[in-house]
Amino acid sequence: MAQIKPVKAAVIGCGTISHIYMSNFKKFAVIDLVGCSDIIPERAQKRAEEFGVSAMTNQEILSNPEIEMVMNLTFPEAHYEVSRRILEAGKHCCVEKMMTVNFGEALELTELAKKKNLLYCAAPDTFLGGGWQSARKYIDDGFIGKPIGVAAVISCSYQPDTDTFDLDPDHFFFPLHPGGGLPFDLGGYYLHNMINLFGPVNRVSGFGGNIDPDRMYRNPSHPRYKEPFQVDTPTTLSGTLEFKSGVYGVILITSDASVYDSFSVHGSEASLHLFHPNWFSGPLILHRSGAVVDEERDTGKNTAEGYRPIPDQVRLPILHGYGENSRGLAMADMAYALRNNRRPRAHFDLGLHAMEIIHGMLESGRTGKVYRMATGCERPKPLRAGVKTGNAQEAALDD
């Protein structure tokens, strides 16, 4: 069988996150990375020299007939305009999370992609990683019994604390700007993985928004120390989810607290404690009576309370590849989808559905009513099991 023809691709946006994306793109046999651009030409030139590609302007990328796919790595407030131009140029588009800064813009872009019959995918793509694909297989294979619920908490502290905060493009702290608040910045990781595990959501309710919009520059070394600063994006959001599969979910997302995270799924027979969905893999801890024998605990003797403890915890093996930082995996999967004429796993309906979940929680809090989802999505097709290393992992995408 002949080798698959690589898809020529380019990157728009050469900020910090572009390094890992471009590093990974150069490893994929299905992607031929040929160019990059940035609003600051020097940044594009630096990345071009690092990765042996051409430094280009946006227009040069969009008008090049050989370039089929473009990765949009601009900051959130630019996602809509840049993605729209990519699609209007007739090129397939993949965008960093989230798709846009609001649900309405995301809906408009998906309609444009459908009209022009183009592939349009969105990060985060960690749900394609080895840990998450393994968790899905264990759940699908009945390790926790009938799935009942999923629970997630992510908290951190986003404040204008550094002495370089927002002074220039290289120090633009997008998490405190529209589209970058924690519900968008990290909420998508949890939601994409929840949908990967349990499918689309039927209804949502929620509370939250921005509990502290009026802030100030807090670092004495900052030239604007003690000046007021307005945060115009949701920073705290709590919600409940009703999945069409019958699973119920709860989620708390806040950048107004200290650092903490948890992610767990619960079934009729067991619970599975997961890891931070910003990562592609991590520990999968099954809590189930009789899961493992712990010789230090299981002495064969009754305890003073008159019973013998039943060990109930085991770390499950990872069954899939891509456990390392594989940002850009959705772009590679999209390239195989293009060549094999199939649906990409990070299809725009997944990103759009996640955007509407956040929108629905905010609307529920505003109106005091349960929000019924208008969009749906297909549960992404799982990757084949089989742990491979290096570029051999890529074969799992070629289906």
- CA dist., res. 195 & res. 210, Å (int): 26
Round the CA-based radius of gyration of the chain to a whole number and report it.
22
Count of the separate structural domains present in the chain: 2
> Does 245 map to a domain?
yes
- Helix or strand run (H / E) with residue 81: helix 76-88
Provide mean pLDDT across the span 212-222.
Answer: 92
Q: Is the pLDDT of residue 337 over 60?
A: yes
> Does 364 map to a domain?
yes
Q: Is the pLDDT of residue 310 over 60?
A: no
How many distinct helices (H) and strands (E) make up the chain? 10, 17
Q: Is the pLDDT of residue 359 over 90?
A: yes
The answer to whether residues 252 and 101 touch, using CB atoms and an 8 Å cutoff, is no
Domain interval for residue 146: 128-315
Residue 84, exposed/middle/buried by CB under 10 A (0-12, 13-18, 19+)?
middle
Q: Is the pLDDT of residue 305 over 70?
A: no
> Does 164 map to a domain?
yes
Which of left, alpha, beta for 114 (phi over 0: left; psi -120 to 50: alpha)?
alpha
Higher per-residue confidence, 180 vs 237: 237
**Which of these, 146, 184, 140, 118, lies nearest to 379 by C-alpha position?**
140
Per-residue pLDDT reduced to its tens digit, 39-53: 999 999 999 999 999
* Pair (227, 95) in one structural domain: no
Q: Is the pLDDT of residue 247 over 90?
A: yes
DSSP E strands, the chain: 7-12, 31-37, 54-55, 69-72, 92-95, 120-122, 147-157, 201-209, 214-216, 228-230, 236-243, 248-254, 256-267, 271-273, 285-287, 313-315, 371-372
Q: Is the pLDDT of residue 231 over 70?
A: yes
Per-residue pLDDT reduced to its tens digit, 130-173: 999 999 999 999 999 999 999 999 999 888 889 999 998 888 88
DSSP E strands, 57-133: 69-72, 92-95, 120-122
- CA dist., res. 190 & res. 195, Å (int): 9
* Pair (145, 283) in one structural domain: yes
* Pair (141, 284) in one structural domain: yes
- CA dist., res. 24 & res. 174, Å (int): 24
> Does 230 map to a domain?
yes
Q: Is the pLDDT of residue 311 over 90?
A: no
> Does 2 map to a domain?
no
Q: What is the CATH number of the domain that holds 228?
A: 3.30.360.10
Q: Is the pLDDT of residue 1 over 50?
A: no
Q: Is the pLDDT of residue 204 over 70?
A: yes
Which tokens go with 108?
A: 């408009």
* Pair (44, 72) in one structural domain: yes
pLDDT the model gives residue 175: 84
Across all residues in the chain, what is the average pLDDT? 92
pLDDT the model gives residue 312: 82
> Does 1 map to a domain?
no
- CA dist., res. 372 & res. 344, Å (int): 26
* Pair (172, 268) in one structural domain: yes
> Does 320 map to a domain?
no
pLDDT the model gives residue 387: 80
* Pair (35, 95) in one structural domain: yes
- CA dist., res. 29 & res. 332, Å (int): 9
**108-127 as b/e: b if 16+ CB within 10 A:** ebbebbeeeebbbbbbbbbb
* Pair (216, 184) in one structural domain: yes
Per-residue pLDDT reduced to its tens digit, 81-111: 999 999 999 999 999 999 999 999 999 999 9
pLDDT the model gives residue 205: 98
Q: Is the pLDDT of residue 293 over 60?
A: no
pLDDT the model gives residue 153: 97
* Pair (143, 215) in one structural domain: yes
**Which of these, 118, 390, 146, lies nearest to 268 by C-alpha position?**
146
- CA dist., res. 7 & res. 26, Å (int): 12
* Pair (137, 274) in one structural domain: yes
Higher per-residue confidence, 297 vs 28: 28
- CA dist., res. 60 & res. 16, Å (int): 22
**Residue 183 binned pLDDT confidence (cut-offs 50, 70, 90):** confident
- CA dist., res. 169 & res. 44, Å (int): 13
* Pair (330, 261) in one structural domain: no
* Pair (122, 136) in one structural domain: no
> Does 105 map to a domain?
yes
Query: Domain end: 260, 294, 315, which one?
Result: 315
pLDDT the model gives residue 302: 47
The verdict on pTM exceeding 0.85 is yes
Which tokens go with 280?
A: 């592609």
Work out the number of other CB atoms within 10 angstroms of the CB of residue 66: 9
Residue partners of 310: CB distance under 8 A and separation at least 6: 289, 290
Q: What is the CATH number of the domain that holds 17?
A: 3.40.50.720
Task: Find tokens 């900051």 and name the residue.
Answer: 75
* Pair (115, 24) in one structural domain: yes
Task: Find tokens 């039927």 and name the residue.
Answer: 202
Percentage of the chain modeled with pLDDT above 70: 94
